[in-house]
Structure 1
Amino acid sequence: MTIAGEFQRYAIYYAPPAQAAWGGFVTRWLGWDMDTGAEVPQPEVAGLPLSLASITATPRKYGAHATIKPPFRLAEGMTRADLETACATFCARNAPLQLEGLTLVRLGRFLALRPVGDTAALDALAARVVEALDRFRAPAPEAELARRRAAGLSPAQQENLARWGYPHVMGQFRFHITLSGKLPKPALGAVEAALTGHLVPLLPAPFEIGDLALVGEDAAGRFHLLHRYALSG
């Protein structure tokens, strides 16, 4: 799918295949479909301690995804067409990946999907994406950098923020597909149990990454899938 127009920021994501049952569930769970650029009705899930809309309010605008290169504004002199060409070239030179599977995890008080087993090849691919496309990234505004520093970063994350504009890249990268916002501690177990019943049986094993997605953020802060590029190297 290709969408015309300019966006305020771009990013490189892993986006679940539209035809995959697990990806379809995550899209409906979050309530935003990046492929169609539209809200979708969220499912009725029994046993949730909070409304699904409130559970997913924070990650909804991003859609079902794992961040590979975080959102960035285009550098001066760069165009979306330039970025698209670079994405196509990069993906044509890099091979698809196969991992053991996906599993539901807690990341603090967030719920997410993480790969099972060795992620070294995936981590290396993400690092190559960040570096290869960094010439398209305009420097982050100072207010954004200050906000990230205020969150409390490790020395390695501080270094990443200064060099790459984002703390959780390179050695600090952890592939994850976010399923919730930060949940109250009493609610965490019930939401995890609901996902264990509805999503976990659908999760793939093995888990294959066959393409990367260029996405764009619209003026309302919602992300749209602009194009999938097959990893064919």
Structure 2
Amino acid sequence: MTMRYAIYFTPPAGHPLVAAAEAWLGRSVFGRDAGPRDIGGIKAEERASLVASPARYGFHGTLKAPFRLREGEDESSLVAALDAYCAKRSPLPALPLAVASLDGFLALTPAAPADALVDLAGEVVRHFDRFRAPLGEADLARRKPERLTPPLRANLEAWGYPYIFDAFRFHMTLTERLGAKDAARVLPVLVAHFGDMLAEPVAMDRLALYVETAPGVPFTCLHEATLAGAAEPGREMADLPGKTETWT
């Protein structure tokens, strides 16, 4: 199985924040034409090198990182499980976002404490892990485990991704990792580009299933489901036997 799936957060396709992000990245995960354009004096051709990876993955905030399906599971069962989970899980409080630098990457990050979002991300990692095929040697090597701290390496080996649980930091990536000079130039452009759209908190009321149909192919949004239930945080994760946090 070469396809990979990921469970992400994104506002709905019609949200102005999505339109602004698509214009910046130069592509849409919803199959529409984002069109090249100059933004803040940065021409589309130059921007392409600044946004190559974020554009391929599409505008999103990671909850469960890309994974291949475990043998015996298929796309329809994953979609059904996402719908069932979201039908029971309550939405989160709306979250204010701001443009910030995260280890050299410019991204939209929480502008206020986001404990509920951290809890949701941990739930999603656990709840959907039964769909994830174990990482192969090449996948493990690509993450450069020798550079990770012992807790992060344990996360990678147990859950397929290092930056989860206490290491989770929600972000919606907008650039590659930039040097100080480029970051200083691009940051005010992004602040101006998103501008008033960040004045209102963003509703955290849905999960999206993205798919990469072949290695290197851009991710697209396959399915969305609204958080529509009243389940208390932690209810779903308690239903998963034999799993414990490896990063505390």
- Shared fold (TM-score greater than 0.5)? yes
Q: Check the 8 A contact 2:96/2:202 in 1, yes or no.
A: yes
Say if 1:149 and 1:158, in contact at 8 Å, map to a contact too: no
More moved, 171-180 vs 11-20? 11-20
- The match for 1:42 is 36
Q: How does 1:125-204 map to 2 (within 5 A)?
A: 125-150=120-145, 152-204=147-199
* In 2: Cα distance, 1:169 partner to 1:64 partner: 19
The reply on whether 1:228 has 2:228 as its aligned counterpart is no
Contact 1:109/1:184, CA 8 A, preserved across alignment = yes
Match of 1:12 among 7, 22, 32: 7
Structure 2: stretches of 5+ with no match in the other structure: 230-248
How far apart, in 2, do the equivalents of 1:44 and 1:159 lie?
43
8 Å contact kept, 2:95–2:114: no
Number of residue pairs matched by the alignment = 227
TM-superposed deviation, 1:207: 2.0
The corresponding residue for 1:69 is 64
> Once the two structures are superposed, what CA deviation does each residue of 1:9-62 show, in whole Å capped at 9, x if it has no partner?
0110101222221211101211121111x5521331133398111111121111
Question: How big is the alpha-carbon RMSD for the aligned residues of Structure 1 and Structure 2?
Answer: 1.8
- Residue 226 of structure 1 aligns to which amino acid in structure 2? L
Q: Encode CA deviations 1:131-170: one digit per residue, 9 max, x unaligned.
A: 0110000011112212313462122211101110110112
Gaps of 5+ in 1: 1-5
- The 2-side partners of 1:138 and 1:20 are apart by 33
SS at structure 2 position matched to 1:45 = coil
SS in 1 for 2:147: coil
Within 1, Cα distance between the matches of 2:98 and 2:36? 22
Give secondary structure in 1 for the equivalent of 2:21. Answer: helix
**Whole-Å Cα distance in 2 between the matches of residues 59 and 17 of structure 1?**
18
Runs of at least 4 residues of structure 1 off by over 4 A? none
* Counterpart amino acid of residue 169 in structure 2: R
**Contact 1:75 1:136 (8 Å CA) reproduced:** yes
Q: 1:184 to 1:29 in 2, by over 3 A?
A: same
Offset from partner CA, 1:174-207 (integer Å, 9 cap, x none): 1100000012321111100111111132115222
- The one-letter amino acid of 1:69's match is K
What's the TM-score, normalizing by structure 2?
0.86
Identity of aligned residues (%): 39
Q: Give the Cα separation in 2 of the matches to 1:200 and 1:158.
A: 38
Give the conservation status (yes or no) of the 8 Å contact 1:67–1:175: yes
TM-score (norm 1): 0.91
- 3-state SS in 1 of match to 2:120: helix
CA distance in 1, matches of 2:152, 2:211: 25
